[in-house]
Amino acid sequence: MTTEAAPPPGGADTRPASPGAEQFAAVQQSPEFGELRKAHRSFAFPLTVAFIAWYLLYVLLSNYAGGFMGAKVFGNINVALVLGLGQFATTFLIAWLYSRHAARALDPKAQALKSRLEAGE
């Protein structure tokens, strides 16, 4: 049983076309989709690896370099606290950078593919 609404009475059906599996497979094989995936991966993978390395460095320093992490930077603020807050700052920075990248490079390409699918091309 489907929950799709019927077209408005006396009017044309303005709903987007419902692409089938063949259309999705064709788009997946298209050069445009490959460019979209490449644009996503070229941004996401390096930043993911860099962030995981940065996080593991923090964990390793916390476990094996207690003297260094406990060194006072100023007042009661030590290296561990500064690096820990740096983890939060890095997380927000990466989220902001990804949002900008997606809006500039990914969303227009994805919208073009979506429009093509809905048009039945």
Q: Where are the domains of the chain?
A: 32-119
Model confidence over 30-52: pLDDT tens digits?
Answer: 899 899 999 999 999 999 999 99
> Which pLDDT score is estimated for 117?
84
> Which pLDDT score is estimated for 7?
59
Cβ neighbours for 117, distance < 8 A, ≥ 6 positions apart? 17, 19, 23, 24, 27
> Which pLDDT score is estimated for 17?
57
> Which pLDDT score is estimated for 24?
82
Model confidence over 52-106: pLDDT tens digits?
Answer: 999 999 999 999 999 999 999 999 999 999 999 999 999 999 999 999 999 999 9
Model confidence over 6-39: pLDDT tens digits?
Answer: 656 666 666 655 777 888 888 888 899 899 999 9
pTM above 0.85, yes or no: no
